[in-house]
Structure 1
Amino acid sequence: MINRQELKQLQSLTSVPALSILLPTHRTSPDNKQDPILVKNLVNEATERLREEFSNRELAPLLNNLDKLVNEIDYPHTLDGLALYVSHDFAKLYYLPFSVPARVIIDQTFATRDLVYGMHRSLRYWVLLLSQASTRLLAGTAETLEEVQDKNFPMEMTGPGGTAPLPYHADSSYLDDRHRRFFQQVDSALTYYDDQEFLPLVVGGVDRQVSFFQEVTQYPQSITGIITGNFDKATLPELAPQVWSAIQPVRETQRQDALQELENAVNAQMVVSTIGEVWRLANEGRGKLLLVEKNYHVPAIVTEDQHLQLVDEPGGTEVMDDAVDEIIEAVLAKGGNVVMVDDGSLSLYQQIALILRY
């Protein structure tokens, strides 16, 4: 699961040309046999478009990076979507747990709108499965779970009561204190993944250990669900239905809260909803919350006086294939938030609305 820090890094890169290739993929056979064909077709389209605007010499480093990246794709283990980002000095691919439309975008920055949309459309959250033997962290995107396996997790309780026996004189209160200290370490490690994002958190484990974690956590407001039991040996397919039941109500609540915030902001005259004004104020850092209908895309250019001017068709280095993507990036880069809503939800606001800080 791509996290917010990786997304910000991707959005900060500027290069001409910056090539983004996005496509839906399939998890199972025989459907996934068509994925390499679609990749080849999109790569051919990208190459043809690039050669219309740049010389072979100018393109050589980028095309070399693209070839290497395509060869790295692990087709038997793809998820629901694939994103390739390539420039002269950067190449990275992401397996996405949500579908994206097949698109080739050539611009000055990478096209991250579909990643942002997928991340917001498909509720993202953490699952923390508590155990002194092996506390596990799972990254959730909708009904897809991925286990985090790195320098922090799974995390084992070391020392007395964990990897070492309890002292002879120890009583139950001593062991309880050891558990609290261990879960403090677990909680501190969460900061590495959830810094400034505060995604919903499902906590699982036996009742006593869940209670200890609730006592020591610095994220009590993030806990949106609890599942009880011993999950040391539970597989991800076994966990998914139970976790999804605990987290599913959160997504609708988030969307309803965003629409209510929009209504409140309209009454306070703190909303703009023409794309030109949204563009200007987002880039000035005045955007608190951007609401966008999920299928709203418009190509545009920036005029000499820095105004946004819509055009009929994408194409050419001066044209942004999707101005909405650029607005999303600007809002996030300035510390604002983005919520994608269903088509038609913003019919009174021309499909896009920006709630202002001031």
Structure 2
Amino acid sequence: MSVVRRETIEKLLGQTQDLNVTIFLPTHKTGEEGKQDSIRLKNLVQKAKTDLIDLGWKENRVDDLFKPVIDKTEENQFWLHQDKGLAIYANEEYYDIFKIPVSPKENYYISENFLITPLLELQNHHNDYHVLVLSQNETKMLKVAPDETSQVTFESVPTSMEEHLKFHIHDRSLQHHVGTTRSDAVFHGHGTDVDEDNKELELFLKHIENKVTKYMKKQYGPLILAGPGKLISYYKKANKYFNVLDETMIGNFDTKSIKEIVDESWDIAESYFREEIESDIERFNNLKGSELISTDISDVIKGAYFGKVDTLFVPMGFHQYGIFDPEKNKVEISDKMNGKTIDLINFAAISAIRNGSTLYGLPQEEVPENSGLAAIYRYKT
């Protein structure tokens, strides 16, 4: 799971019970460290079991809670094809395990809520986008999803100039002598052979564009163009799809691998997917000095709980423990977790999600004013 959609987190929060366990573990795809991942997970589980027993749980009850997790992680195929981390959620009625593309801090969390703040960063990872690789030899389109890249197949349209010239020779620009092969064809008309070749190239790309636009209108996402500048120019001239990105990949991609193309395209796609984040950070900065923003943790926690927060910026890896009393509207800050305190950053994020706020999980240095929490409010108090 490389992208966590909001619905995923909302579904997870809907599974909470009186007591919930969250485990985060950095994992490794290969090497000696990868072989140790299962051992490190078992050690974390054992620590969580000990804490639950200290809270008064019977040993058999604790074993029953973790049994589905242990059974799943002991399957032969489980530790193959790992990503950078695992997120494990479990209570007596539910469990789920996510393979995630970020390396979390090794930790576990026992509370009245699941720990969801590390997942917020995954919302920033891209949704699907497409790359159209234009070439006279082989034009192809790639669908780049968070977890895999696939090639889109178009039927009934030539994907090379050779195929195009076999099936789309137009009388107005090209006359084919009867009885000759394609190699013996003679160009006629007022222009030069180069002009005729350019007309055929434009026509070739128009046919491609018709198929691509018809497909993309059902996908809606961004489309990145790659290929020689001349082909990109002709394609843009014919283009009717609204979300073709201005920035393109210029060059000959015939000999490049799919991975190389995708890696290069990400430099463009990442900027596109961060536009919304950057826009809201700019909005925060433009509101400085007003009552519509705050970086005071206690104030933001209260605002999130009572539905005042429009947009919440959450620093990844930052924790603030304490107690929130909604009846007294009072926040007490603590320097550690104990039987009474909770992770207030996580509590604010959960409250904001339940109240329909927009949330961004960001590195600490990207959060406005480098704060523990930052919020844009819906209204002044």
Worse-matched range after superposition: 128-137 or 26-35: 128-137
Match of 1:156 in 2: 153
- SS of 2:99's partner is strand
Cα displacement (A) at 1:188:
3.7
Q: Could you list the per-position Cα deviations for residues 144-171 of structure 1 after superposition, in whole angstroms to 9, with x for gaps in the alignment?
A: xx424xxxx5321123547xx9896775
- Does the 8 A contact of 1:17 with 1:108 survive in 2? yes
CA distance in 2, matches of 1:203, 1:282: 38
Q: Aligned AA for 1:357?
A: R
Question: Is 1:135 matched with 2:141?
Answer: yes
Match of 1:100 in 2: 104
- Does the 8 A contact of 2:132 with 2:223 survive in 1? no
Match of 1:198 in 2: none
How much is the aligned-residue C-alpha RMSD, in angstroms?
A: 3.9
CA distance in 1, matches of 2:322, 2:11: 24
Match of 2:94 in 1: 90
Match of 1:187 in 2: 216
Question: Is 1:45 matched with 2:47?
Answer: yes
Match of 1:15 in 2: 17
Cα displacement (A) at 1:100:
0.7
Cα displacement (A) at 1:78:
1.8
Aligned length: 333
- SS of 1:36's partner is helix
Q: Could you list the per-position Cα deviations for residues 118-137 of structure 1 after superposition, in whole angstroms to 9, with x for gaps in the alignment?
A: 554xx546541226975322
Q: Aligned AA for 1:97?
A: P
CA distance in 2, matches of 1:46, 1:236: 43
- Does the 8 A contact of 1:155 with 1:186 survive in 2? no
Q: Could you list the per-position Cα deviations for residues 101-145 of structure 1 after superposition, in whole angstroms to 9, with x for gaps in the alignment?
A: 01101223321211213554xx546541226975322245xxxxx
Structure-to-structure mapping, 1:131-280, within 5 angstroms = 135-139=141-145, 146-148=147-149, 154-161=151-158, 176=205, 178-191=207-220, 201=222, 203-206=224-227, 208=231, 211=235, 215-220=239-244, 223=245, 225-228=247-250, 235=257, 237-239=259-261, 241-246=263-268, 258-280=280-302
Q: Aligned AA for 2:74?
A: N
Question: Which is higher, the Rg of structure 1 or of structure 2?
Answer: 2
Structure 1: segments with no counterpart, 5+ residues: 141-145, 195-200
CA distance in 2, matches of 1:22, 1:99: 9
Match of 1:309 in 2: 332
- Does the 8 A contact of 2:312 with 2:357 survive in 1? no
CA distance in 2, matches of 1:147, 1:46: 34
- SS of 2:83's partner is coil
Structure-to-structure mapping, 1:311-350, within 5 angstroms = 311-316=334-339, 319-320=341-342, 322-333=343-354, 334-343=356-365
Q: Could you list the per-position Cα deviations for residues 51-102 of structure 1 after superposition, in whole angstroms to 9, with x for gaps in the alignment?
A: 3333345445422222123225733422222211222333222222221101
- The TM-score, its normalising length taken from structure 2, stands at 0.71
Structure 2: segments with no counterpart, 5+ residues: 171-199
- SS of 1:205's partner is strand
CA distance in 2, matches of 1:156, 1:285: 47
Worse-matched range after superposition: 272-281 or 257-266: 257-266
CA distance in 2, matches of 1:301, 1:214: 60
Match of 1:288 among 297, 310, 322: 310
Q: Aligned AA for 1:155?
A: V
Q: Aligned AA for 1:111?
A: L
CA distance in 1, matches of 2:53, 2:214: 53
Q: Aligned AA for 1:282?
A: A
- SS of 1:16's partner is coil
- SS of 1:296's partner is coil
- SS of 1:310's partner is strand
Q: Aligned AA for 1:93?
A: I
Q: Could you list the per-position Cα deviations for residues 160-209 of structure 1 after superposition, in whole angstroms to 9, with x for gaps in the alignment?
A: 547xx989677568765543342234324435xx6xxxxxx561433647
Percent identical among aligned pairs is 17
Worse-matched range after superposition: 64-73 or 227-236: 227-236
CA distance in 2, matches of 1:82, 1:234: 32
- Does the 8 A contact of 1:24 with 1:102 survive in 2? yes
Q: Aligned AA for 2:152?
A: M
Match of 1:197 in 2: none
**CA 1:288 to 1:205, structure 2 compared with 1: closer, same or farther past 3 Å?**
same
**CA 1:262 to 1:235, structure 2 compared with 1: closer, same or farther past 3 Å?**
same
Q: Aligned AA for 1:90?
A: Y
